[in-house]
């Protein structure tokens, strides 16, 4: 497995491999590499544990500890059989940034190999200061006010659609594209977060594109902000996505119909509190 990534300095300490660059490399100079797993202020959200680091250049980094989700987490916690997924995330992120997709800059990666070859990992990215994930933003007073303006709402929908389309056109399908993995910066830019298990490929097929779009739409309904997003808004989103690049063999009407059928199948479970 390739552990070298262009632009990153590599450091080994026993069973730990550290890749770092820029201000994070300066921050880690003279510190044990294992500090990246325990330094800074911690915050736990969903299945992700984050650590915030104050870097020497005055910026901050977010360190995301890799954790399993669902029932598997109770068994394996933060231990993985393979470390390739950690490096795949860096490469996907670097590729997307080179293609003009907004995703936080990766500053470093720590991989620790333990007993029986199981791995732990932590990824450090540059924090987008004063940014809010899209769910948090839509629930804020500022977000509600913006959504109330048809022009502002359309601008936001277009920004999200264009970033998702650019990601797909760059050859990346997101493994977990949902409303909390989209971040809105103060300047209006939309960032795509959490590229763990993202697939870098030559082209993203229409079926995979559709699966990503449906998952994103479903997350909006699941989080109960769909009262702010109408069926027409959903159609506008799909239309903006299709308009944002070269023509695709995708009928926006068929996309909406498939989305509506998919969501209808899940609504019963959501009403029962199963989300």
Task: Write out the two tokens for 264.
Answer: 């209808």
Rounded-to-integer distance, Cα 116 and Cα 119, Å = 9
Beta bridge partners of 10: 19
Q: How far is CA 22 from CA 55, 114, 167, 186, 205, in A?
A: 10, 28, 25, 24, 36
* Burial class, 29, CB count within 10 angstroms (exposed 0-12 / middle 13-18 / buried 19+): exposed
Of 78, 133, 176, 226, the catalytic one is: 176
User: Which pairs count as long-range contacts for 242-245, CB under 8 Å and 24+ apart, including other chains?
Assistant: 242/165, 244/161, 244/162, 244/165, 244/166, 245/165, 245/166, 245/169
Rounded-to-integer distance, Cα 95 and Cα 199, Å = 11
Residue 267 three-state SS: helix
- 176 classed as catalytic: yes
Q: Are 241 and 213 spatial neighbours (Cβ–Cβ below 8 Å)?
A: yes
Backbone φ and ψ for 5, nearest 5 degrees, come out as -130, 130
Residue with tokens 């199963």: 274
Rounded-to-integer distance, Cα 128 and Cα 8, Å = 21
Query: Catalytic residue numbers?
Result: 176
């Amino acid at each position: 497995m390739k552990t070298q990534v262009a632009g990153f300095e590599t450091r080994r300490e026993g069973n730990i491999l550290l890749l770092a660059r820029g201000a994070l490399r300066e921050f880690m100079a003279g510190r044990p590499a294992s500090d990246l797993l325990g330094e800074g202020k911690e915050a736990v959200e969903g299945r992700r544990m984050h650590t915030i680091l104050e870097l020497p250049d005055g910026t901050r980094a977010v360190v995301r500890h890799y954790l399993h989700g669902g029932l598997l987490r109770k068994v394996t916690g933060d231990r993985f059989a393979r470390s390739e997924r950690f490096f795949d995330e860096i490469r996907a992120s670097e590729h997307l940034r080179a293609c003009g997709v907004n995703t936080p800059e990766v500053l470093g990666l720590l991989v620790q190999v333990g007993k029986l070859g199981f791995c732990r990992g932590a990824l450090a990215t540059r924090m987008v200061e004063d940014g809010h994930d899209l769910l948090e933003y839509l629930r804020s007073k500022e977000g509600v006010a913006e959504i109330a303006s048809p022009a502002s709402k359309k601008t936001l929908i277009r920004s999200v659609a264009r970033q998702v389309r650019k990601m797909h056109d760059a050859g990346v399908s997101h493994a977990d594209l949902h409303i909390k993995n989209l971040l809105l910066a103060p300047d209006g830019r939309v960032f795509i977060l959490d590229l763990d298990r993202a697939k870098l490929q030559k082209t993203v097929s229409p079926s995979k594109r559709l699966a990503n779009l449906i998952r994103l739409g479903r997350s909006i309904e699941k989080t109960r902000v769909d009262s702010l997003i109408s069926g027409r808004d959903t159609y506008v989103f799909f239309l903006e996505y299709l308009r944002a690049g070269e023509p695709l063999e995708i009928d926006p009407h068929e996309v909406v119909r498939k989305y509506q059928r998919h969501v209808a199948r899940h609504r019963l479970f959501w009403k029962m509190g199963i989300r």
